[in-house]
Amino acid sequence: MSFNLQEILRRDLNEIVPYEAPRVGDGVIKLDANENPFEFPEDTIKETCERLKSFTRYPDPMSAELIAALSEYTGVPKEGIMAGNGSDELILNILLVFGNGGHIIIPAPTFSMYRIHSLIAGAKPVEVSRGSKFEVDVSAVVEACKSYQARAVIVCSPNNPTANSTSVRDVQFLLEQSGALIIIDEAYIEFGGESCLKLLNRYPNLVILRTFSKAFGLAGLRVGYLLGNPEVVKEIHRVKQPFNLNIFSQLAARTVLSNYGEFKLMVDKILAMRDNLIEEMSVIKNVTVFPSEANFILFRTQLKGREVFEGLLKKGVLIRNVHAPGIEDCLRVTVGRDNENKLFLDSLQAVLNGDG
């Protein structure tokens, strides 16, 4: 018998387009991925390397020392914490356990990987439109949960790419009225919004996702963690890869937590630069800037988003074109360092003036 690739493929994955990040050369500033723009503190790198003993053994499969540090940092019992290879792995693991064969409610527009991970896990994503100010329509979400007998709801707060947060009161409404697992992705919580951490002890159907990739500058090492009811976390462990988080990443994350004050100063600087960047963008003619509680800004101009994106890239500035239903022709720019923000502003003004 001859091998036929098409006969063994999962047909439900046909609509997924493999994720590809743009590759740029030297001389292009990256303001597209919501990363911390500052160099990682040299002393923290040195401390991490000095604590590293060997690469020859497998890492701790349970990330026990990191979990203990996260427990102290968050106040959540160790049994209610799980570390992962970035939040993406944790999202997929949650959906593999709770989503397969069922419906997942996703207030959109939001982070595109929620829908993709749902499909990979064999779940059925259902998008519920956000309101005119990108707020979660909690009544519509609850109605969708009942109509579809949904297994879970995923809410990003502050939301990517719209940069607005969902109130704790609205999350509490979802927890009490939906009958589903409520997953709150707090990837950008260090920059704004109100954490749902205070609800964790009261609601067993709450899971909170966090990451070291944004405020803490570990995007290249892929460290995320989730907080939840110990019984829920225990079930998610059934599908976790045994050595999912490498030795260096575990150690680096622990070192970051022990040097939290230094990263808090970085966050304060980013917030100040964000507010200044919003102010500068707001005075540019034909630019609409949306409020931000994150380390990025959503905006649109009178031109097509693709046209602005390509014009900026020609000038050495990479941002993200997030054009989608509800955010047509919108773009997202990460807050960079002062010189990067200035180059972005000058380049944006030039593109809008026809010098693209």
pTM beyond cutoff 0.75: yes
Q: 153, 166 in Cβ contact below 8 A?
A: no
Evaluate if residue 26 carries a pLDDT over 80. no
Angle at 233 between CA 229 and CA 238, to 5 degrees: 155
> With left for phi above 0 and alpha for psi between -120 and 50, is residue 344 left, alpha or beta?
alpha
Evaluate if residue 53 carries a pLDDT over 90. no
3-state DSSP of 2-14: CCCHHHHCCHHHC
pLDDT number for residue 17: 84
- Length of the chain equals 356
* Residues 201-259: tens digit of each pLDDT: 999 999 999 999 999 999 999 999 999 999 999 999 999 999 999 999 999 999 999 99
Evaluate if residue 189 carries a pLDDT over 90. yes
Distance CA 345, CA 356 (A): 13
Peptide bond into 204 cis (omega under 30): no
Higher pLDDT: 44 or 157? It is 157
Distance CA 210, CA 200 (A): 14
DSSP state of 204: T
Give the mean pLDDT of 79-100: 97
Q: Which residues in the chain belong to E strands, given as ranges?
A: 29-30, 81-84, 103-108, 124-129, 152-156, 181-185, 206-211, 224-228, 287-289, 296-301, 317-318, 320-321, 330-334
CA distance readout (Å), 106 to 138, 156, 163: 11, 9, 16
Neighbours of 9 (CB within 10 A): 10
Query: Smallest Cα–Cα separation from 347: which of 339, 265, 151?
Result: 339
Residue type, 233: V
Distance CA 89, CA 58 (A): 19
DSSP letter for each residue of 37-90: -SPPPHHHHHHHHHH---SSSPPPTT-HHHHHHHHHHH---GGGEEEESHHHHH
Contacts of residue 286, Cβ cutoff 8 Å, sequence gap at least 6: 301, 302, 352
Q: Which two tokens stand for residue 227?
A: 């907080």
210 alpha-carbon distance from chain centroid: 8
Distance CA 172, CA 49 (A): 42
Evaluate if residue 356 carries a pLDDT over 80. no
Contacts of residue 228, Cβ cutoff 8 Å, sequence gap at least 6: 80, 82, 200, 206, 207, 208, 236
* Residues 129-160: tens digit of each pLDDT: 999 999 999 999 999 999 999 999 999 999 99
DSSP letter for each residue of 6-41: HHHS-GGGTTPPPP-PPP--TT-EE-SS----SPPP
Query: Smallest Cα–Cα separation from 87: which of 244, 197, 230, 265?
Result: 244
Domains of the chain: 5-40+261-352 (3.90.1150.10), 52-259 (3.40.640.10)
pLDDT number for residue 87: 96
Give the mean pLDDT of 309-326: 96
* Residues 106-134: tens digit of each pLDDT: 999 999 999 999 999 999 999 999 999 99
Distance CA 221, CA 286 (A): 39
